[in-house]
Amino acid sequence: MTYLTRRLLWTFPVLLGVMSLVFLLIHLVPGDPVEIMLGENALPADLSALRSKLGLDRSLPVQYGDFITATLRGDLGESFTSRRPVTGLILERLPATLELMAGAMAVAFALALPLGILAALRHGKWQDRLATAFSLVGVAMPNFWLGPLLILVFAIYLDWLPVNERGGLAHLVLPALTLGTSMAALLSRMIHSSLLEVLGEDFIRTARAKGLAERVVVVRHGLPNSLIPVITVAGLQIGALLSGAIITESIFDWPGLGSLLLESINTRDYPLTQGCVLTIALSYILVNLATDMLYAWVDPRIRLR
């Protein structure tokens, strides 16, 4: 059995565990979705009728069994509030989240690659200390603090960039910068440490002894051989971007999957919450699988069996 097949088979019990945990947690959260939809002053008969219509009058094990069976068929159910299929709602919001993730990744690598390489080449000098300071500040700043700070500076005081909702490239800058800064901080330190280790290897000294330019030595020989740990961190961070996007999307009113998840939690929309979390979990698993596949492509010495 191939490595890819085994990983795909392990996906099913992982997703089953996620589905079970989300189902139990969302039903343990205080608040009745029926009362939220009809209001606290609704008549008992109306509450009972809507609860029966939504299937909430059945026992928890029966609801769980129906949820698992329907999900295995590819049916995520119907939203309580909008009465629309959950799959359709998720597919409407997913492109915005993918756009935000792509922008955050672009920001992260645009900052991390030059900083990490410069810090490795100037190890122990002021450039290295500057990159270290950036990493510490970037990791220490949470999204819910950095986002409003960027809004105050660039949208309110300077009036350079828009801040509300999704639009052109200008609308993407601030949320992508908010989401990508912490990732850039981690990646820059990983690139620095990994490249610094590779630059001390024998084959690098041999390349320099042959008279190759330092730029060629670093870019063609050093950097490719230092990418394995960087890919590992980047793969994990892509999954973390999905959870971090929840806060960032709410700050910038970005119509993505994260804001949809928050809306579903606030309204106790069980099917929509379960569908959003399941989508995020599946994305995380697929990203990690793609990361493992990328190992073998970057380093042919690695064989996935």
For the residues 51-58, what does the mean pLDDT come to? 76
Q: pLDDT tens digits for 156-211?
A: 888 888 877 777 788 888 998 988 888 888 888 888 888 888 877 778 788 778 77
Q: How many domains, the chain?
A: 2
Q: pLDDT tens digits for 83-107?
A: 888 889 999 988 888 888 888 889 9
Please enumerate, as own/partner, the contacts of 163-172 that have beta carbons within 8 Å and a separation of 24 or more. Answer: 163/252, 163/253, 164/252, 164/253, 165/252, 165/253, 165/254, 165/255, 166/96, 166/99, 166/254, 166/255, 172/99, 172/100, 172/103
- Tokens 């992982």 found at: 14
Q: For the chain, what is the mean pLDDT? A: 80
Q: Cβ neighbours of residue 145 under 8 Å, at least 6 residues apart?
A: none
β-sheet bridge partners, residue 78: 85
Judgement on whether residues 173 and 257 belong to the same structural domain of the protein = yes
Domain boundary among 27, 42, 72: 72
Judgement on whether residues 263 and 125 belong to the same structural domain of the protein = yes
- Tokens 């690695």 found at: 302
CA atoms within 13 A of residue 49's CA, in its CB half-sphere:
6
Query: CA-CA distance, 101 to 217, in Å (whole number)?
Result: 32
Report the first-to-last Cα separation within the chain, whole angstroms: 8
**C-alpha separations of 44 from 38, 41, 51, 83, 179 in Å:** 11, 9, 10, 22, 45
Residue 303 lies in a domain: no
Residue 83 lies in a domain: no
Contact (Cβ atoms closer than 8 angstroms) between residue 99 and residue 179? no
Q: Hey, what are 149's tokens? A: 């700070």
Judgement on whether residues 132 and 196 belong to the same structural domain of the protein = yes
β-sheet bridge partners, residue 85: 78
Residue 29 lies in a domain: yes
Is the pLDDT reported for residue 1 higher than 60? no
**Among 28, 17, 10, 6, residue whose Cα is nearest residue 68:** 17
For residue 93, give the amino acid letter.
Answer: R
For the residues 15-41, what does the mean pLDDT come to? 76
Per-residue confidence (pLDDT) for residue 248, from 0 to 100: 86
- Structural domain boundaries enclosing 210: 90-298
Confidence of residue 300 (pLDDT cuts 50, 70, 90): low
- Give, to the nearest 10 degrees, the angle between helix 143-150 and helix 227-252: 60
DSSP of 95-128: HHHHHHHHHHHHHHHHHHHHHHHHHHHTTTSHHH
Residue 77 lies in a domain: no
Residue 209 lies in a domain: yes
Judgement on whether residues 64 and 118 belong to the same structural domain of the protein = no
pTM of the predicted model as reported, rounded to 2 decimal places = 0.80
